[in-house]
Amino acid sequence: MNPLIMKGRRQNGGQKRQQRRRPVSLNAREGTYVAAFNFDAETEMVKHASFARMGIDSSKGIVVRDLWSGQEWRIDPADDEHRIDLAPAKSKLLLFKHA
């Protein structure tokens, strides 16, 4: 195995690994679960969850539940994505359901 890979470094000058820009989603009977991660310990991050990319029909509105806090809110039917704000070294697990 390449010794640079074993040390966790990249061969492109040691540049920081590009984080996954899109949240991860899973469609289930209850709705669509979305997980978003910020692996950076110092910088806040914003991710955008596209309803079309996740296979969600948002034409009648969406209810979102933050599964860590229990908080719920509605998303307007005109919106085509949801903004996810992540503090440094934090994650969010959301459930998107039809309104």
pLDDT above 70 coverage of the chain, percent: 79
89: domain CATH number is: 2.60.40.1180
Domain span at residue 63? 29-98
Asked if residue 53 is part of any domain, the answer here is: yes
Dihedrals φ, ψ of 64, to 5°? Answer: -115, 135
Asked if residue 66 is part of any domain, the answer here is: yes
Asked if residue 45 is part of any domain, the answer here is: yes
Confidence at residue 48, expressed as pLDDT on a 0 to 100 scale: 93
Asked if residue 14 is part of any domain, the answer here is: no
Burial of 54 (0-12, 13-18, 19+ CB in 10 A): buried
Q: How many domains would you assign to the chain?
A: 1
Instruction: Record the pTM.
Output: 0.74
Q: Which single residue is written with the structure tokens 């996954």? A: 20
Asked if residue 11 is part of any domain, the answer here is: no
Q: Decide if 65 contacts 94 (C-beta within 8 A).
A: yes
Q: What is the pLDDT of residues 19-30, one digit of tens each?
A: 556 788 888 889
